[in-house]
């Protein structure tokens, strides 16, 4: 299909995904999946699991680090990455600043859970889709590549 005439046939990449991101459900996706027959109990169990994860932020520094890594919210404001690095190196959660930062992150995620039904989905990745204009793939095939080289790592 040719929508308009162009002098060049090149594609310019404006932006790429900086790092893999995990999937969060929201109210719209939940309504869509529910209308397709997915039971409410599935969403409630995911919500309960997320609340347990958020409770782990109050635990020891290892639990807090693991929870923050799983939530993979590093693209927002950098606080998660900072807090993970701080907890890893100092292994300390008694510092009032760190306690307050952990509290703010936890409260923010609970607020998003309540207002937007933003529910973390474990073992998931958000994927970008593009058209296969070169017709490399057969009908019904997809190519998926997840590059974890930019993921938050232990150092």
- Tell me: pLDDT of 40 over 90: yes
Angle of CA points 148, 90, 76, to nearest 5° = 45
| Better-scored residue on pLDDT, 64 or 11 | 64
Predicted pLDDT of residue 96: 82
- Given a cut of 80, is residue 38 above it in pLDDT? yes
Q: Which residue has the higher pLDDT, 48 or 9?
A: 48
Q: Indicate whether 151 pLDDT > 70.
A: no
pTM value? 0.70
- Residues 104, 77: Cα–Cα separation, whole Å: 12
Closest CA to 122 of 59, 47, 70, 86: 70
């Amino acid at each position: 299909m040719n929508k308009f005439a162009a002098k060049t046939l090149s594609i310019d990449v404006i932006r790429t995904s900086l790092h893999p991101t995990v999937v969060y459900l929201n109210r719209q996706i939940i309504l869509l999946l529910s209308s397709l027959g997915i039971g409410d109990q599935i969403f409630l169990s995911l919500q309960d699991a997320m609340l347990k994860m958020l409770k782990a932020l109050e635990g020891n520094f290892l639990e807090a680090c693991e929870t923050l890594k799983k939530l993979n919210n590093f693209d927002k404001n950098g606080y998660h990455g900072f807090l993970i690095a701080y907890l890893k190196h100092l292994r300390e959660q008694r510092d009032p600043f760190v306690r307050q930062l952990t509290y703010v992150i936890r409260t923010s995620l609970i607020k998003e859970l309540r207002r937007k039904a933003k529910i973390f989905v474990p073992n998931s990745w958000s994927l970008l889709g593009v058209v296969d204009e070169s017709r490399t793939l057969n009908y019904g095939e997809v190519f998926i590549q997840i590059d974890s080289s930019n993921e938050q790592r232990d150092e």
